[in-house]
Structures are given as C-alpha cells and as structure tokens.
Amino acid sequence: MKTIHLKLAALSCAALMSCGSLQTNSTQTQKKETSTFGQILSAVTNGDALGNAFNSVIGLDKPTEAQLYGSWHYTQPGVAFTSKNALAKAGGEVAATQAKEKLKAPYQSVGFNASNTTLQLNKDKTFTIQLAGKTFQGSYIYHADECKLDLQTFLITLPCYVKRTPKGMSFLMESKKLLTLFQAIASISGNSKLETVGKISKNYDGIRMGFEMGK
C-alpha cells in the first residue's frame, strides 16, 4: 500500500513538473513571438526611414547622365538635403515636406508652371532652359559622382544638384543662387514672398531647393 502511495505521489509530482514545463515553454514561446514581432516592426520602421531618406537626400541614388536626357517640365517645388544627418537634424521627411509647402507662394509669385518652366538636356551636352518664360541656352557638364549638373551659359554657370524622385527628377541648388535667380527673373528684389527662400535656408542646414520636374 505504501508503495502505491509513493507511486501516486511520484506521478503527481511529474504531472506538476510537466505543467510547469508547459507553462515555461508557453511563456518562452510568447517571448519569442514578441521578440520576433519586435524585430519585424523594427525592420519595417527602419525601412520606412530609409525610404524617406532615399527620397530626400542627394547622392543616395545617383542618376546616370543618360537618365537626364530629354524634356523636363516643372511640377512643383523641389527640396532635398545634402546628407542623412542634415535631414535628421532638420526633422526628417516632415521637414522636407514643410519646406516644399513654404516654397509654393514664392514660386507662384515668380510665375513658374509646367508650360513656361522646362529643361531640355541633349546627348550632345547642350541644353535649353526656360524659367517662367525666359529662355537660356548653353552646354552642360554632369559630375555623376556628386550628382552635380553645371549649366553653362555665355555669362554664367548655374550649378544644380540632381535627385531622382518617384515621378521624375529634381534639379536643385543652393538657396543664395536660387534666390538670385528668382530675383533676376521677377526683376523685383524687394518681393517679400521671395524672402521665404532665404528664411528656409537659415532654418535648415544642408538644404537644397529648386524644381521637381517630370517628362
């Protein structure tokens, strides 16, 4: 009889240990699933951040010269940053979007639209650019490693930075050069809306502004 009781006690103990093991395994499984979900979520978040940086940082995606050939037409203000650090410091993709919104008024003030603001880049290294209806011609040099496009006319050289966009290409420049260009086109140096360009450059380090264009 004593032997039977001992066997029953042993079986009960084994059952309890088994339940504890199942609970431990269940907890470990839950932890593993939570960890895996966290890794997936982190990967998705990092992927989104990389995608945003990819859209708003010059040089992450280097267009070839052949990809620049053709006729480009203005679609909206263009904005990008010179590095990931500059983008992060400014506040990320939100900052780039806000800067674009702030540029809409001065762009409208100058009068840019799809029909009067165009860029034609030819295979023979010549170009024709139309800005708010004013036409300039010359030759260009493209430095693919820097994503830098030098537009050379008889009087001036206009350095642009090229950034591929989901719907085309951005042609960007430093704020001082962009502001000078705007003032020359508008022939109104005191236009208060144009001052927005200078203010944006002071608020964001490493920003480049210009034109988003499509074919």
Task: Concatenate the DSSP letters of all residues of 121-159 into one string.
Answer: E-TTSEEEEEETTEEEEEEEEEETTTTEEEEE-SS-EEE
Mean pLDDT score across all residues of the chain:
78
Task: Give the CA diameter of the chain.
Answer: 113
CB-based contact 76:214 (threshold 8 Å): no
Residue 183 lies in a domain: yes
Kindly state the tokens that stand for 195.
Answer: 């001052």
Phi/psi region, residue 86 (left: phi>0; alpha: psi -120 to 50; beta: rest), is alpha
Residue 47 lies in a domain: no
Instruction: Give the mean pLDDT of 52-74.
Output: 91
Q: Give residue 160's identity as a one-letter amino acid code.
A: C
Q: Is the confidence at residue 32, as pLDDT, over 90?
A: no
Residue 152 lies in a domain: yes
Closest CA to 112 of 103, 121, 102: 103
**Residue numbers of the domain that contains 207:** 65-214
Number of structural domains (the chain) is 1
Q: Which residues of 6-38 are buried (b: 16+ CB within 10 A; e: fewer)?
A: eeeeeeeeeeeeeeeeeeeeeeeeeeeeeeeee
Residue 12 lies in a domain: no
For the segment 85-139, what is each residue's pLDDT rounded down to a tens digit?
998 888 888 888 999 999 998 898 888 999 999 999 999 999 999 998 889 999 9
CB-based contact 160:171 (threshold 8 Å): yes
Work out the pLDDT band at 142, boundaries 50, 70, 90: very high
DSSP H or E stretch at residue 105: helix 93-110
Instruction: Give the mean pLDDT of 153-173.
Output: 94
Kindly state the tokens that stand for 97.
Answer: 């979007």
Residue 96 lies in a domain: yes
Residue 139 lies in a domain: yes
Residue 162 lies in a domain: yes
Q: How far apart are the first and last CA of the chain?
A: 94
Instruction: Supply the pLDDT for residue 113.
Output: 94
Work out the pLDDT band at 189, boundaries 50, 70, 90: low
**φ and ψ of 187, to 5 deg:** 55, 30
**57 DSSP 8-state letter:** B
Instruction: Supply the pLDDT for residue 31.
Output: 46
Q: Is the confidence at residue 200, as pLDDT, over 60?
A: yes
Instruction: Supply the pLDDT for residue 54.
Output: 66
Instruction: Supply the pLDDT for residue 8.
Output: 40
Q: How far apart are CA 200 and CA 145, in angstroms?
A: 27
Instruction: Supply the pLDDT for residue 68.
Output: 99
Residue 163 lies in a domain: yes
The reported pTM is: 0.72
